[in-house]
Amino acid sequence: MKKMSNVLKKDWGILILIFLGFVIGVYFYPSLPSRIPIHWSQNGQINGYGSKFFGAFGAAITNLGMYLLFIVLPYIDPKRKNYEAFQATYQYLKYLLIIFFLGIEAYALLIATGTIVNKPDFTQIMISLLFILLGNVMGRFKYNYFVGIKTPWTLANEEVWRKTHRMAAPIWVIGGIVNLLLTVTGTTFNGIFSMIIVAVIVIVPIAYSYIIYQKILIKK
């Protein structure tokens, strides 16, 4: 495993993004109302509000906590050696999630200050892109206890882990593309379709990991 100091040097771009989240919160804080949108429904409608402080800094604090978790996990995972085998993908994952939450933070603060109005399609587009970009690298996740599709069967057998992630990767990409198309075309009941898509990309890999594990047991 790399020394912590070397990891932090490599993550300078990520640290700037996290710092930017706090800067954005400080900038908008004086002009924020008492309630800030923090949650959206499947249809992209605001259905949850938070305090002024949480609205301004909640996402930035989340990003900081998530980053610290990303740093610690390779040191505490019993499969820590495997992180070296997908180091570039792990780095990609850090950037992807932190940029996602930074985007949501900026969007929420712009709505709260009246700079823009809530556009139901925005959150669905963001989520669709997240599915696509995660699916694009999911097949590269190496056997570990924290990052990836963790079921009793993927964690019990490295072959099940590998096959499950390779199968799930295109499903996540396709699910994201379908959800994106439904969103931009303004399909009626898009919220229901979105829930179905999420259910498919979650349940199918779980079921597949169980089936593959049972097949391996039979061979033994």
**Structure-token match 């409608």, residue found:** 45
Tell whether 28 and 130 lie within a shared domain. Answer: no
Tell whether 128 and 89 lie within a shared domain. Answer: no
Please say whether the beta carbons of 110 and 59 come within 8 A: no
Mean pLDDT, rounded, for 116-120: 81
User: pLDDT, tens digit, for every residue of 62-108?
Assistant: 999 999 999 999 999 999 999 999 999 999 999 999 999 999 999 99
Mean pLDDT, rounded, for 27-40: 88
Tell whether 112 and 8 lie within a shared domain. Answer: yes
Fill in the DSSP letter of residue 67: H
| pLDDT at position 37 over 80 | yes
User: pLDDT, tens digit, for every residue of 135-173?
Assistant: 999 999 999 999 999 999 999 999 999 999 999 999 999
Tell whether 109 and 192 lie within a shared domain. Answer: no
pLDDT for the residue numbered 188:
55
Domain boundary among 69, 98, 118: 118
Domain boundary among 89, 118, 147: 118
| pLDDT at position 120 over 80 | no
Tell whether 91 and 133 lie within a shared domain. Answer: no
pLDDT for the residue numbered 205:
96
Please say whether the beta carbons of 157 and 209 come within 8 A: no
Mean pLDDT, rounded, for 6-31: 91
- 143 C-beta neighbours (distance < 10 Å), count: 19
Higher per-residue pLDDT: 118 or 171: 171
| Entry pTM | 0.87
Tell whether 128 and 68 lie within a shared domain. Answer: no
Please say whether the beta carbons of 118 and 173 come within 8 A: no
| Exposure of 32 in the CB half-sphere (CA atoms within 13 A) | 25
Please say whether the beta carbons of 106 and 24 come within 8 A: yes
Tell whether 4 and 105 lie within a shared domain. Answer: yes
For residue 35 the two structure tokens come to 């309630």
Q: Which domain holds residue 175?
A: 120-220
pLDDT for the residue numbered 200:
95
Domain boundary among 84, 118, 152: 118
Tell whether 101 and 140 lie within a shared domain. Answer: no
Q: Which of 134, 19, 138, 1 shows the shortest CA–CA distance to 67?
A: 19
State the burial class of residue 20 (Cβ atoms within 10 Å of its Cβ: 0-12, 13-18, 19+): middle
pLDDT for the residue numbered 3:
67
Tell whether 84 and 155 lie within a shared domain. Answer: no
pLDDT for the residue numbered 1:
53
pLDDT for the residue numbered 132:
97
Tell whether 5 and 96 lie within a shared domain. Answer: yes
User: pLDDT, tens digit, for every residue of 176-217?
Assistant: 999 999 888 876 566 788 889 999 999 999 999 999 999 988
Tell whether 111 and 132 lie within a shared domain. Answer: no
How many folded domains does the chain comprise?
2
Long-range contacts of range 57-60, CB-CB < 8 Å, 24 or more positions apart? 57/22, 57/25, 58/105, 59/21, 59/101, 59/102, 59/104, 59/105, 59/108, 60/18, 60/21, 60/22, 60/24, 60/25, 60/102, 60/105
Tell whether 98 and 124 lie within a shared domain. Answer: no
Tell me how many degrees the CA angle 217-218-220 measures, rounded to the nearest 5: 65
